[in-house]
Structure formats: structure tokens, C-alpha cells
Amino acid sequence: MLAVGLLQTGVAGMAKYVLRRLIGMIPTWLIIMFMVVFMVRLIPGSIVDLLLQDQGGGGSYQAGIDRAQVEHRLGLDQPVYVQYVKYVAGVAQGNLGASLWDQQSVVSLIAQRVPVTAQVALVAIVTSVFVSIPIGVISAVRRDSPVDYLLRSISILGISVPGFAIGTAIVIFPTLWWGVTVSFKYVSFADDPIGHLKLIIPPAMVLGVQLSASVARLTRTMMLEVLQEDYIRTARAKGLQEPKIVVKHALKNALIPVVTVLGIQITNLLGGSVITETIFALPGLGRLMVSSIGSRDYPVVQGIVVMTAIFVMCMNLAVDVSYGYLDPRARPA
């Protein structure tokens, strides 16, 4: 009964904590929306000029429409604060607006691009976990050995080299050395599974390099700290085999902060997708963001930023909650 009572108390405390965090997200969310609504309008150039130049070229506006009419139709003749209030009201109703070019819903545009970005991120995360954690463990167990120095050097190199340089190298070097050209023609998984994987793996490698390096270094640091704990020395004194001590006792506790940091690093993959999707011509959120900025498509840029901000805030909350469950000492009262 005591255990059940403690469990119920812990669940109630966690629920209150999550509710407080969700309420606290609202001001942050409003500030982010104000910043994006204001800042996208500081981008040099005007969507109105581009639309007027496109008259008769397949655009949404016919020849003969003047600038004032276009601005009024798009709502750009209103003050920024009025546009902000209307945008917040629309977002609260699940309406992110429509593209200024083809009037397609921003929600549908984002929904079409999310699967590509999510696939690349998922492959990068899975690969980095299976690569970085063993590297970190081996480096910690072989501390100050040649293997440790080699793995640490590789990790530092992975953190130091920027993503665009890695992506460019993946595109250029195979062509120069082996005559293998990276394909830039996107095909869906349903049409060509093998061809789809060939398109997803290179950008996933670019995103996974820095993620793997960061997680490997953190795993090594936490393993070295845990291996100095008293219970590890006690396990050795009892005669337990070193592999069992490392895997069952040390690694289990060392991974708690690694899991939380990994969750935070996942959000960084969204920023990296802008570079990788541009380099490899993938139709994901990052490339949509770049093209929308270039075409001054304000609603699309705003929608991507707002949805990304919501994802990041929710991911941070999930990381905090998961840390509380993984480490009882961090649970809210």
C-alpha cells in the first residue's frame, strides 16, 4: 500500500509539473510568433513586387492589378500588430494560413514535407546511437590508451567539421575517386525502396556525424565518472567480470544524462536539415524553408518556424519528464 501511495504521489506531482510547463509555454509561444511575424517582413524585397512581376506568367494574379490591390488582398496593408493578432487567432484555430503564391494551405505543405525530414532524422539518430555509445564505452574502458586517443580524436574531428563541408565531401569525393555520382532525383519509398534509401542515407550521414561525436564524448565522460563510484568498486571486489560490470552496472547509470542530451540534440537536426536538404535536393522542411524565404512566402516561413518551435518546446518537456522517470532523484515533489 505504501508503494502504491508513493507511486500515485509521484504521478500526481509529475502531472502538475507537466501542466505548469505547458502553461509556461504559452508566453514563449506568443513571443516566438511575434518575432517571426515581424522579422520575416524585414527580409529585403517584397512579395508584392515578385507577384506583380509574375503577372501573366502562371501566377495567381492577372495583369492590370496594381500594387495596392495586391497588398489589400494579402492583408499586407494593415499594421504589423494587426497582422500578428490575426495570425495568432488563426494558429489557435489550427489555421497557419495559405501560401501567397498558389494559395495552398501551409498545413498541407508542411505535412507533405515532414515525412522526408523525419526519415532523414530517424536514420541519423538510430545510426548515431548504435555507433556513438559503443565508441564512448570503449574509449572510457580503454582510458589513455592508443585506442582512446584515436576515438577521442575522431570525435573532436566530427564535432569540428561543419555539416556543409561533410555534405559537399560526400557529393564530390565519390565522383572524383570512384566515379560514383550521388543521385539528386527524389523517389518515394513506395516507388523505389532501394533508390529511396540511397537518397536518405547520405544526408543522414551528414546529420549523424556531429550527433555521434557529441554523444560519444558525453558517453565517455559519464562512463569515466560512473566507473569511479563506490558500487562499481564493490562489484569488482565481489569478483564480477569486468564486461558485466561495465554493461549492467556502469552503462545503465551513465546513459541517463546521455538520453536527455540526445533528446535535446534531436531538435538540432531540424536546423541541420536546412543545409543537408539543400545540398542533396531533398523535398523536406529545410528546403521548403529556404525556397519560401527566397520567394518571400511569409505564411509558409511563419508556419515552419512556429511548428518547429512547438516541436522543440515539447521535446524539451519530454526530455525533462523522461529524466525524472529515469532518475528518481530528479522527480518533482
- CB 171 within 8 Å of CB 182: yes
Q: What percent of the chain has pLDDT over 70?
A: 89
What is the pLDDT, as a whole number, of residue 236? 86
Q: What is the mean pLDDT of residues 120-134?
A: 90
CA distance 305 to 117: 15
Residue 191 pLDDT > 80, yes or no?
A: yes
What is the pLDDT, as a whole number, of residue 50? 74
- Using CA atoms, how far residue 71 sits from 51, 75, 114, 183, 315, in Å, is 10, 6, 30, 41, 38
Higher pLDDT residue, 10 or 90?
A: 90
Which CATH number is 106-330 given?
1.10.3720.10
Residue 37 pLDDT > 90, yes or no?
A: no
CA distance 82 to 127: 46
pLDDT (tens digit per residue) in 210-237: 889 989 999 999 999 988 888 888 888 8
Residue 55 pLDDT > 60, yes or no?
A: no
Rank 2-16, 17-31, 132-146 by mean pLDDT and report only the highest.
132-146
Residue 3 pLDDT > 50, yes or no?
A: no
- CB 303 within 8 Å of CB 107: yes
Within 10 Å of residue 172's Cβ, how many Cβ atoms?
Answer: 11
Q: Per mean pLDDT, which range of 62-71, 136-145, 183-192, 267-276 is the poorest? A: 62-71
pLDDT (tens digit per residue) in 197-206: 888 888 898 8
What is the pLDDT, as a whole number, of residue 150? 93
Quickly state the pLDDT bin for 316 (edges 50, 70, 90).
confident
Report DSSP letters for 106-127, one per residue.
HHHHHHHHHHHHHHHHHHHHHH
What is the pLDDT, as a whole number, of residue 149? 92
What is the pLDDT, as a whole number, of residue 268? 78
pLDDT (tens digit per residue) in 248-269: 888 888 888 887 777 777 777 8
Contacts of 18 (CB under 8 A, 6+ apart): 317, 321
**Residue linked to cell 522526408:** 116
What is the pLDDT, as a whole number, of residue 327? 63
Residues of the chain with CATH 1.10.3720.10: 106-330
Q: What is the pTM of this model?
A: 0.80
Question: Which cell numbers in the block locate residue 140?
Answer: 572510457
